[in-house]
Chain A
Amino acid sequence: MATRVETGATIGQALPTLVKDVSQRRIDVYSGVRPRSIHSDEAWARQKGFRACLAQGMMSTAYVSQMMVELLGPGFASGGTMSMAFIKPVYAGDRLTVHGVIKDRQSDNGATRVVVEVWVENQHGEKTAVGQATGLVS
């Protein structure tokens, strides 16, 4: 993994956003197709009160991981952290935008740890997941 971080990345700097179209096909591949699953059985999802199948919250952690790898390369896969809360359902057909803002740069055993506030919004501007991710700049 190439290291892409700009060592001069500053606190308050917004990272390039990622846009994700959460199709049913992508949910099926991520979660697998099963009966009686709100991820892949639309009738079941509707029976449980949802308007469509839901994406796993875990898909949003993959989006944040992608953003952090683009920022830090191997400094995320070895030494990175992520903490996310899933606060609103993501439905098949939603378009998500993944945001990150650098909140801090900390000394960590001779390296610099970059702390990023992250959140995911749907097409209505509603936050679906919020949290923090960190990684190392060697």
Chain B
Amino acid sequence: MALTEFKKLTLDTLQVGDEFVSDDHLVIPEDIEAHGFAVEDDHPWLAEGVAPPTLMANQALHLRHSKYIVHAGLHARMEFNFLEPIRLGMRVRTRGKVIDKYERRGKPYMVTEYITEDDAGRVLIRGQFTQMIITEPEATHGHSR
């Protein structure tokens, strides 16, 4: 059995080219109901058998947790290209790759490109996002996700 080795996330430990993959997630009615409650979206998604386009966005955002111990971070930018709807009952996963890392005004950032796909490998969403890295000793604010 191969075990994942988790490193503390810093600009130094992070490697451009690092690849991530989420676990598969079965989209169930409760996901859509919970999302609708959380963001006050009363669109009849369940009746239509489709999910709100951003339903699985956190699957992408949490990718770095699959390889790193993330003390804290802030989400700076998010981009989506919605290619196909996510449907109720789909099994979806998200794959990501770190495409850049940099410092700006003394703060470290990472940029990840991602795709969310169904279990046949059909791409549903493509995009990229930028996250600030806040390392443990100097963290003055931030969060674990």
Contact = CB atoms under 8 A, between A and B. Distances in A.
Interface of A: 1, 20-21, 26-27, 29-31, 34, 36-39, 45, 48-50, 54, 56-59, 61-63, 65-66, 69-70, 74, 76-86
Nearest to A80: B82
Q: Which 4 A-B pairs have the closest CB atoms?
A: A30-B38, A38-B143, A48-B141, A62-B39
Given A58-B58, A65-B53, A65-B54, A79 B77 contact: no
Given A31-B145, A66-B43, A84-B77, 18 more contacts: A1-B48, A30-B35, A36-B144, A38-B143, A48-B139, A48-B141, A48-B143, A58-B58, A62-B35, A66-B39, A66-B52, A78-B82, A81-B79, A82-B79, A82-B80, A83-B80, A84-B78, A86-B75
Contacts of A80: 53, 80-82
B77 A48 contact: no
B5 interface: no
Interface string B10-49: 0000000000000000000000001101111101000010
Contacts of B139: 48
A70 B41 CA distance: 11
A26 B39 contact: yes
Contacts of A84: 77-79
A29 B39 CA distance: 9
Contacts of B61: 58
B100 interface: no
A58 B72 CA distance: 16
B107 to A, nearest CB: 14
Contacts of A1: 43, 48, 50
A58 B144 contact: no
Contact of A48 (B50, B80, B84, B140): B140
B83 A79 contact: yes
28 contacts: A1-B48, A20-B39, A26-B37, A26-B39, A27-B38, A29-B34, A31-B58, A34-B145, A48-B139, A57-B78, A58-B75, A58-B78, A61-B54, A61-B80, A62-B35, A62-B38, A62-B54, A63-B39, A66-B39, A77-B50, A78-B82, A78-B83, A80-B53, A80-B81, A81-B79, A81-B80, A81-B82, A85-B76
A86 B79 CA distance: 11
A43 B32 CA distance: 30
B85 interface: yes
Contacts of A54: 143
